[in-house]
């Protein structure tokens, strides 16, 4: 399994090391390959960890609070068995919702509905991350990047939905 050290993960995802360190220390993201255990050891993150980091960043950019993102991430880990490619996360800046099918929206924070402001397509972010990693290491096997992904398209993975939709 291929791993990414903290500074490399930050560069790939587009966050600061300070953000990564805080999110890791507070348990928002846990390095799957190796957690730091004292002086001289480094955290090593997996492809799935990078995917979670990019999702968190996208939700923050869409206006969701870190507290609500934390609740959403916990929900996906426990209720959806952590299968990030099977969910689309949606935020209106106040709530965070999980869409597990075209017809289903699950309110992650409370019962009710809101006007959706941004859609974070996790599968699209996964495709983009896979493409970014292939550009960094063109000779590496596709399995090292979470499987073969065809049709990677540019874009942020965040799509704004019209208010009142």
Give tens-digit pLDDT for 36-90: 777 777 899 999 899 999 999 999 998 889 998 998 888 888 877 767 777 778 8
Q: Hunting for tokens 């000779």 — which residue is that?
A: 139
Q: In this structure, which topology does domain 4-160 adopt according to CATH?
A: Multidrug-efflux Transporter Regulator; Chain: A; Domain 2 (1.10.1660)
Alpha-carbon Rg for the chain in angstroms = 16
What is the band of 165 on the pLDDT scale with cuts at 50, 70, 90? very low
Q: Which of 62, 77, 94 is nearest to 29 (CA)?
A: 77
Please report, for the chain, the start and end positions of each structural domain, with discontinuous segments joined by +. 4-160
**SS (HEC) of the chain:** CCCEEHHHHHHHHCCCHHHHHHHHHCCCCCCCCECCCCCCCCCEECHHHHHHHHHHHHHHHCCCCHHHHHHHHHHHHHHCCCCHHHCEEEECCCCEEEEEECCEEEECCCCCCCCCCEEEEHHHHHHHHHHHHHHHCCCCCHHHHCCCCCCCCCCCCEEECCCCC
On whether the pTM is more than 0.85, the answer is no
What is the band of 11 on the pLDDT scale with cuts at 50, 70, 90? very high
Could you tell me how many residues make up the chain?
165
Token readout for 120 is 């974070």
CA distances from 47 to 65, 94, 125 (A): 24, 29, 12
């Amino acid at each position: 399994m291929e791993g990414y050290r903290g500074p490399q993960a930050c560069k790939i995802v587009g966050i600061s090391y300070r953000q990564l360190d805080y999110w890791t220390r507070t348990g928002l993201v846990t390095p799957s390959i190796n957690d730091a255990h004292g002086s001289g050891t480094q955290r090593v993150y997996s492809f799935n960890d990078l995917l979670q980091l990019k999702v968190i960043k996208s939700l923050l950019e869409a206006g969701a609070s870190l507290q609500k993102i934390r609740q959403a991430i916990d929900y996906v880990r426990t209720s959806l068995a952590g299968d990030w490619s099977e969910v689309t996360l949606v935020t209106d800046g106040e709530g965070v919702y999980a869409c597990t099918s075209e017809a289903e929206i699950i309110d992650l924070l409370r019962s009710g509905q809101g006007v959706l402001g941004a859609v974070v397509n996790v599968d699209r972010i996964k495709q983009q991350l896979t493409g970014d990693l292939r550009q960094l290491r063109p000779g590496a096997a596709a399995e090292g990047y979470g499987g073969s992904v065809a049709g990677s398209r540019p874009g942020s993975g965040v799509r704004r939905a019209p208010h009142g939709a």
